[in-house]
Amino acid sequence: MRRAARVGIVLVAAGLGVLAVEIALRTVVARLPVPVLIFVHRDIKDAHPGIYGRLREAGPNLQRRVAAADVGWRFEPNARFTGVNEDGEPYDHVVTAEGFLTPDEPGPGDPQLVTLGDSFMSTFVVPRPAAWVVRERVGLPVYNLAVGGWGPETYRAAYRSFAGARAHRRVGVFSFVNDISDVANRRAWEANDQGLGFLEWIQRENPDGEFINTGGGWLDRRSVAWNLAKYAFGASSRVAPDAPRVEHFPDGRAGTFPLQLIGGHVFAVNPPAAFEPGGAYYPHLQDYFESLERLRLEIESRGAEMALIWIPSKERVYLPLLAPERRAAYVTNGTGEVGGLEPVLARYARQAGIAFLDLTPAFTAAARAGERLYFTVDGHLNSRGNALLGELAGDFLANPPAATPDAPDTEDLLPFRSGPVAVAEPVDPADASARASLVRTGPRGWSMTGTADARFGYVLQWPERAIHAPAFVLARGQVRAGGLTIGVLSGDRWASAVTVTTPGRFDVALPVMTPGRYVLTVAHALPESSLETDVEVDEMGWAPVSQGRREP
């Protein structure tokens, strides 16, 4: 009895100790180190609003930003940015009352050039940012709408709100590889009606779940001590694969300069074939192209033309200069190639009739000549890089080549929607050759609700059919819980598929480009934590890819 009593006392004391630690941590949680705060479960962050303020100030893409209903966020109005950059250069820039870092504020009726972009066009840590250099080359006032973290959907919102009524003939859209994922982020925010502005949502959510504790357990959602323990024991495994490394490059004067590089870039982990239609990465590019199409239509509706300028990342420019054995630490796609993305972008521009400037060749040539175009640690362009960007883009925008949409051969066709595409041939669960019991038909379509037998089991399959010309599989609906994969099987293997797991509305146009015989299939795509699914499909069927093309 005495031993049991002692054990009980020890357990009670330990429990009280843990409780005391938890209470103490709750009082200081908003002051924990930033890397820990990033990892902490979003439910705990929601209970301590000061955490989001600290994270915003610590993150370079959200620093000194204010929420804005029209574009998600802008710079603090009239903010002044002063300091000394990595290279020892002083900078001093003032934001406009509208929240933008722009060389000019021309009157609405004055002829001007409008530029759109993200952090590469809103860099304030150099004495002469690229937009200032563009102004000198084009000989026109430049109204620069750019903020770090923006993407094509935000560009369209900013253009509509701040520049659509201005006197301009041309809009320069400066795009970067992050724009591809930014499209997905914006769409996920729009699909989730949580009552949050985009700034709050982008901080609260982590679409890939990589760095935030997204566990569903009681301790995950409520215990600060548990979150700290998970961070302490899991931090090393989270950051190791893409940890920064410092490499040295010839500077053209018999010396070298250092650059910090990171792995994990889409062009380094995906082989060139992944960017082509039917490749694993192409669905992301299709979303990006369709977002650019919406921007193009918005610009052309104002009587102006769109020009697209592609800015390469530090890794895209300098990785090819490394020796093969060093390059292998970053390029893990099995081919050693990093140039698979830009040719597809150029094909998109030709097909859409957009003047396109890919800065990758010129930047790579400058790097081979020994120029350092980016900061050593920061991934953005330094003063020389901003000057080169401004000179090349300014000359291009002053006199862009004529661009009219071409009519590509079937083999060269990029499938994307440049306007609404309707289902031409609906499919009905009643006609399926295989159907799971949890599929239910309703007045507006069909749903799959209940507990699945497996995470990835087939739900619906229709009889095999022949495809003679490129076609879309269209599907529109809503995910409330779980997720689904929509695709076509060839020989019992996925020939083309897309997976939807983000809660909210979805609108899928899956291209099937190669003639053949296919089995249209819907499957579960469920998390490890639960086999519960609740998905509603309003409509689904086939449509020719040609229906989504812009006619030349």
DSSP SS3 for 480: strand
Question: What percentage of the chain's residues is helix, strand, coil (to nearest 5)?
Answer: 35, 25, 40
CA dihedral 126, 130, 132, 133 (to 10 degrees): 120
For residues 415 and 514, what is the distance between their CA atoms, to the nearest angstrom?
12
156: tokens are 């369209």
Of 371, 389, 416, the position where a domain reaches its end is: 416
465 and 375 inside one domain: no
Q: Which amino acid is at 528?
A: E
pTM, 2 dp: 0.88
164 and 131 inside one domain: yes
165 and 313 inside one domain: yes
pLDDT of residue 236: 46
298 and 401 inside one domain: yes
pLDDT of residue 235: 54
Q: Are 276 and 514 in contact (CB under 8 A)?
A: no
For residues 214 and 47, what is the distance between their CA atoms, to the nearest angstrom?
16
Going by the DSSP 8-state scheme, the letter that residue 129 receives in this structure is: -
Burial of 309 (0-12, 13-18, 19+ CB in 10 A): buried
For residues 478 and 535, what is the distance between their CA atoms, to the nearest angstrom?
6
Residue range of the domain that includes 294: 100-194+282-320+338-416
Q: What is the largest CA-CA distance in the chain?
A: 92
CA dist 160 to 77, 105, 164, 306, Å?
Answer: 19, 17, 5, 14
Whether 506 is covered by a domain: the verdict is yes
Rg (alpha carbons) of the chain, rounded to whole number: 26
Residues of the chain with pLDDT under 70: 1, 5, 7-8, 10, 58-62, 193-194, 206-210, 235-242, 407-411, 547-552
What is the residue whose two structure tokens read 């700034």?
A: 199
Whether 483 is covered by a domain: the verdict is yes
447 and 355 inside one domain: no
316 and 357 inside one domain: yes
Whether 542 is covered by a domain: the verdict is yes
394 and 521 inside one domain: no
pLDDT of residue 240: 47
Q: Assign residue 347 the CATH number of its domain.
A: 3.40.50.1110
| pLDDT tens figures, 214-271 | 777 888 888 988 888 888 877 544 544 567 899 999 998 889 999 999 999 999 999 9
